[in-house]
Amino acid sequence: MRIGIMGLGRIGAFHAETLSGLDAVDDLVVTDPVAAAAANATERFGATAVDSPQAVLEAGVDGVVIAAATDAHPELILASVKAGIPVFCEKPVARDVEESLAVLRAVQDSGVEVHIGYNRRFDAGCAAARAAVVSGELGPLHTVRSTTLDPAPPPEPYVAVSGGIFRDCSVHDFDIVRWVTGREVVEAYATGGNRGADFIAAAGDVDTASALLTLDDGTIAVISNSRTMPGVTTYVWNCTA
């Protein structure tokens, strides 16, 4: 297969490394506004660098990975679907609910596969927790705790267009709480603070955040997130029955 990658920041470079090691992938076609990032992918993985997302779509790729900044996701998803090319796009779909729903309406009857990168649904531990909930092994849930900690903030230009920590980072926790429990959120309280990089506050965002969710069966979910946990890259998932 020939796979296209749009965006070669932290997660895009990670995808490039993973894909380059798969026997089924013969070639990578990559693009990034930062020329050095594309050159690095060419050097490290033998990728073919092109100068735009449209050039990726015109390169005969069998699928695309969208790892660009959040604000670019809707346009790139729709362009890929219009070209009839299956899409894996990093979360979130867009910066707000309205734009996300607009993308959904545009692609849902297209016949083109679109997958959003909520990878924890495929984590062995989370899958085991879901199975234990579904089977009744855990019994009634009382509290769910989900924590995501980044070792360092994303780059300043990324933060400015990310949509904020709740949409860009906490969204993993929101998704996995709903998926594992099979419940919907009916009430939410959230707060955040800034104890790290000044550019995060300047963008109207926070680097430390917590949310308290009430699920529709009365279960309480506690979400904790941080952009500034040096030496740590982790997420923790726990439920109390």
Domain ranges of the chain: 2-117, 120-240
Higher pLDDT, 132 or 236: 132
Q: Is the pLDDT of residue 37 over 80?
A: yes
Judged by DSSP in three states, 43 sits in: helix
Share of the chain above pLDDT 70, in %: 95
DSSP 137: T
> 51 with 26: CB under 8 angstroms?
no
Per residue in 205-236, pLDDT (tens digit) is 999 999 999 999 999 999 999 998 765 555 66
What is the per-residue pLDDT across 137-169, written as a single tens digit (0 to 9) for each?
989 999 999 999 888 888 898 898 888 999 889
Count Cα neighbours of 182 within 13 Å in the Cβ-side half-sphere: 11
CA 94 – CA 153 distance, rounded (Å)? 20
If you search the block for the tokens 């490290």, which residue do you land on?
44
Q: pLDDT, tens digit, for every residue of 59-117?
A: 999 999 999 988 999 999 999 999 999 999 999 999 889 999 999 999 999 999 999 99
Q: How far apart are the first and last CA of the chain?
A: 45
Q: Which residues, at least 6 apart from 116, have a Cβ–Cβ distance to it below 8 Å?
A: 89, 90, 91, 92, 93
Say whether pLDDT at 40 is over 80.
yes
Q: Give the model's pLDDT for residue 196.
A: 84
pLDDT for the residue numbered 10: 85
pLDDT of residue 49: 96
Nearest to 148 by CA among 74, 229, 93, 218: 229
Reference 145, options 222, 218, 210; nearest CA is 222
Mean pLDDT of 178-201: 95
pLDDT at res. 237: 63
Q: What is the pLDDT of residue 193?
A: 95
List helix spans (H) across the chain. 10-20, 35-45, 53-57, 73-82, 97-107, 124-135, 156-161, 165-168, 170-181, 198-202
**What does the pLDDT read at residue 153?**
87
Percent of the chain residues past pLDDT 90, beyond the cut: 79
As a whole number, the mean pLDDT across the chain is 92
Q: Does domain 2-117 have CATH number 3.40.50.720?
A: yes
pLDDT score of 137: 93
Structural class in CATH, domain 120-240: alpha beta
